[in-house]
């Protein structure tokens, strides 16, 4: 499996070095294989060990990214993963299938679906509650890993694909972001002291969520 080293961006919020990385491979699905008219009346319900969050999609701004996320969620791809990287005031990162296996912890942050999708940079700013795709140094390398902003991360605008925003569960995101952390394998203070599991991500009609 081909993986990418982490790339780094300077966090204006935390004043520290951060990384948002994902794995890429060839055989990526083409734009034609993604739905160009995704259902905008659907939301993602992210059920975690710390509570539930609901995400509304920006299908007009990032249709292929939204379609890919929905496809993976529908396949149960994210079920049993965890948020492996947390930087309070900046973001919480998840979506790596390798996090299902504790024995693979040294490779967490490098996993993906085995393909990459093209970037869909847009004018939605990376603010609290915005969900965006993690990637490597290649702008078109996002696959499955995503992050939720825990503050103003607008320095990422037009460099990462924002594709939705939190409509329920602000308290849950803040709770996850407040998880104590220690040094990761790279020395970055972002490794959660406890497992914040993603029990499931379900795509449901928006009117089904109270």
- pLDDT tens across 133-181, in order? 999 999 999 999 999 999 999 999 999 999 999 999 999 999 999 999 9
Look over the chain and give the mean of its residue pLDDT values, rounded to a whole number: 86
The model's confidence at residue 72, banded by pLDDT at 50, 70 and 90, is: very high
How big, in percent rounded to 5, are the helix, strand and coil portions of the chain?
20, 30, 50
**Which pLDDT score, from 0 to 100, does residue 7 have?**
36
Residues 181-196 have pLDDT tens digits of 999 988 999 999 999 9
2 pLDDT exceeds 60? no
Domain ranges of the chain: 17-208
Q: Which CATH superfamily is domain 17-208 in?
A: Cyclophilin-like (2.40.100.10)
Q: How far apart are the first and last CA of the chain?
A: 41
**Which pLDDT score, from 0 to 100, does residue 181 have?**
98
**Which pLDDT score, from 0 to 100, does residue 186 have?**
86
Cα atoms in the Cβ-side hemisphere of radius 13 Å centred on 49: 11
**Which pLDDT score, from 0 to 100, does residue 24 have?**
38
The pair of structure tokens assigned to 21 is 């990385």
94 pLDDT exceeds 90? yes
Read off the pTM.
0.85
Q: Which of helix, strand or coil describes residue 102?
A: helix
Strands (E) located in 104-158: 130-133, 146-149
- pLDDT (mean) for 77-106: 97
Residues 4-38 have pLDDT tens digits of 333 334 333 333 333 465 543 433 443 433 443 44
In angstroms, the Cα distances linking 129 to 1, 118, 189 are 32, 23, 22
149-171 burial, b at 16+ Cβ within 10 Å, e below that, comes to bbbebeebbeebbbbbbbebbee
């Amino acid at each position: 499996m081909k993986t990418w080293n982490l790339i780094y961006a300077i966090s204006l919020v935390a004043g520290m070095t951060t990384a948002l990385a994902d794995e890429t491979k060839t055989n990526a699905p083409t734009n034609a294989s993604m739905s160009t008219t995704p259902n905008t009346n659907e939301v993602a319900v992210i059920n975690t060990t710390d509570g539930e969050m609901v995400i509304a999609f920006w299908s007009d701004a990032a249709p292929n990214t939204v379609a890919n996320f929905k496809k993976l969620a529908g396949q149960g791809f994210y079920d049993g993963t965890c948020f492996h990287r947390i930087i309070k005031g900046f973001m919480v990162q998840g979506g790596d299938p390798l996090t299902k296996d504790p024995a693979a912890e040294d490779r967490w942050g490098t996993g993906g679906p085995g393909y990459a999708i093209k970037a869909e940079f847009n004018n939605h700013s990376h603010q609290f509650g915005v969900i965006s795709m993690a990637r490597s140094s290649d702008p078109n390398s996002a696959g499955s890993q995503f992050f939720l902003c825990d503050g103003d991360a607008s320095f990422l605008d037009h460099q990462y694909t924002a594709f939705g925003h939190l409509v329920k569960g602000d308290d849950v995101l803040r709770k996850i972001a407040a998880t104590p952390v220690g040094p990761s394998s790279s020395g970055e203070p972002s490794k959660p002291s406890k497992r914040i599991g993603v029990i499931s991500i379900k795509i449901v009609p928006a009117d089904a969520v109270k």
